Amino acid sequence: MPTKGLKRIGKAARLLGLFRIISMMPIPLAYRLAGMIGNLDHFFHTAYLQATRNGLVYLRTGKFRLSDREIEDFTRRHARMMAREVVDSWMVSGRNMNVLGRISSLSGAGLVRQKLDQGKGLLILVCHYSRLNMVACTLGREGISTSIITQCVDRRNRYLDWVDRYYLSGKLERYQQVTKGTLVTLEDNLRPVYKALFNNEPVILLMDAFHPKFIRFNEYPFLGGKIRLPAGALRLAEKTGAPMVYGVARENGWKIEVDVKSLPGSFEEAHREAALKLEQDVLARPWEWWQWCNIRDVWKAEN
């Protein structure tokens, strides 16, 4: 059998079999086992982790200069976190809401409701940081339904194989049982997103996403250079009048602490402030950011 076929079988056994079994175990044990799998991933230098390590090496600026030991440690921590994120994807569903109460906590629910009282909808800007899907799930547990803009996970996305499509489609289906809102992909018409905002509903948008089809970006100071953020969030806010807030999940051991913060000023100022908050989070916990493997696409050095 070709090497590519063997790799896909191994990935299927891991994502669809091993982690699903682990998610059925007692919660603390499940996350400890996931951490052990992350350590093994780091030991065997998977391609994804090698790309993450290379990204950390690439971005050595005056403001963000890591030693070789720190880079190795942060890559290992990242591997453990990503393994726990896969356990989340199997453990969390609308039929198992009590699990969320044990996994996550929320700060900022009052802010979300206060913004919605303005009647203009709400854009919750989330980044590829930590176990990010827990932002929407934790809000859902609090009775705050959110619509989500996400990547396409069917055959229209040529970057995904059948294992990715099966795993990610199931993951989104389980999360939507909790979030309750509309799910719109980058390949879909965004009309449902506008409708949700005009109906005074919150929408979660990944502000640091990268996709080859994106052509408009805003650049803001970030880690000694500039980060390129898609302009979609800013355009949505300007067209609908929806205020923006910054949502983030951070690990505390195997648990997750979700925090939603206000973004003051004009829409452009709020977008810039969100970039600053992401920078602060990355400086505090570099291993929790997913985009190291895409750093050449989302970041550039100062001229």
| pLDDT (tens place) for every residue of the chain, 303 residues total | 457 778 889 899 999 999 999 999 999 999 999 999 999 999 988 899 999 999 999 987 777 888 999 999 999 999 999 999 999 999 998 667 788 989 999 999 999 999 999 999 999 999 999 999 999 999 999 999 999 998 888 898 888 899 999 999 999 999 999 999 999 988 888 899 999 999 999 999 999 988 777 888 999 999 999 999 999 899 999 999 999 999 999 999 999 999 999 999 899 999 999 999 999 999 999 999 999 999 999 998 876
pLDDT of residue 1: 46
Whose structure tokens read 């803001």? 220
User: CB atoms < 10 A from the CB of 182, how many?
Assistant: 18
User: How is residue 81 written in tokens?
Assistant: 């976190």
**Residue 198 buriedness (CB in 10 A; 0-12 / 13-18 / 19+):** middle
pLDDT of residue 253: 94
pLDDT of residue 45: 86
Residue 73 CA to chain centroid, in angstroms? 21
Whose structure tokens read 């709020």? 270
d(C-alpha 139, C-alpha 104), whole Å: 10
**Residue 230 buriedness (CB in 10 A; 0-12 / 13-18 / 19+):** buried
Residues 6+ apart with CB under 8 A from 61: 223, 224, 225, 301
Q: What is the pTM of this model?
A: 0.94
Alpha helices (H) in the chain, listed in sequence order:
3-12, 19-23, 27-43, 47-58, 68-91, 97-103, 109-116, 133-141, 162-179, 191-198, 232-240, 267-284, 295-298
